[in-house]
Amino acid sequence: MKKLDTILLIDDDPATNFLHKYVLQKESCAENIVSFQSAEEALEYIKDTIKNGFHFPELIFLDINMPRMNGWEFIEEYNKISKQNKISKIVVMLTTSLDTKDREKAESIKEINEFLSKPLTPEKIHQVLESFNLLK
């Protein structure tokens, strides 16, 4: 089976990142799984991958509610970077939010490809990979 080069996890909860990384590793769908507990650090990582010619993450799992910079603010900054560098990748919002306004907002932002509730499961991973033909 073909693997993605890099999946990026952005969640302020270390236990959630640990669990999601574990599930992704068990599914063996990526060579590299990188996680950050802050959106700012994730943006720096993305800028560094572009600057240094590394592989840009093909799939990003993003939490909404984080301190300092939340998922919505991350998307705004990410869009600036991706437009400048003509990069288009899959962004999945992962959340515990039950607020329908969050889902509606995510659906209104074209750069957010999917809106799922936590935790990330093997079924949800396969759903995303198949929906966006990521392993073809």
Write the pLDDT tens digit of every residue in 14-66: 999 999 999 999 999 999 999 999 999 999 999 999 889 887 899 999 999 99
Total structural domains within the chain: 1
Overall average pLDDT of the 108-128 stretch: 94
CATH value at residue 50: 3.40.50.2300
How many degrees, rounded to 5, is the angle at CA 12 between CA 10 and CA 18?
A: 70
pLDDT at 136: 63
Whether 63 is in a domain gets the answer yes
Q: What integer is the mean pLDDT of 79-100?
A: 86
Measured between alpha carbons, how far is 26 from 48 in angstroms, rounded to an integer?
28
Residue 67, both tokens: 């301190």
Q: Which residues contact 89 (CB under 8 A, 6 or more apart)?
A: 56, 57, 58, 59, 60, 82
Residue 136 belongs to a domain: no
Query: CB–CB of 74/11 below 8 Å?
Result: no
Indicate yes or no: pTM above 0.85: yes
Range of the domain at 42: 4-131
pLDDT tens digits for range 96-111: 988 899 999 999 998 8
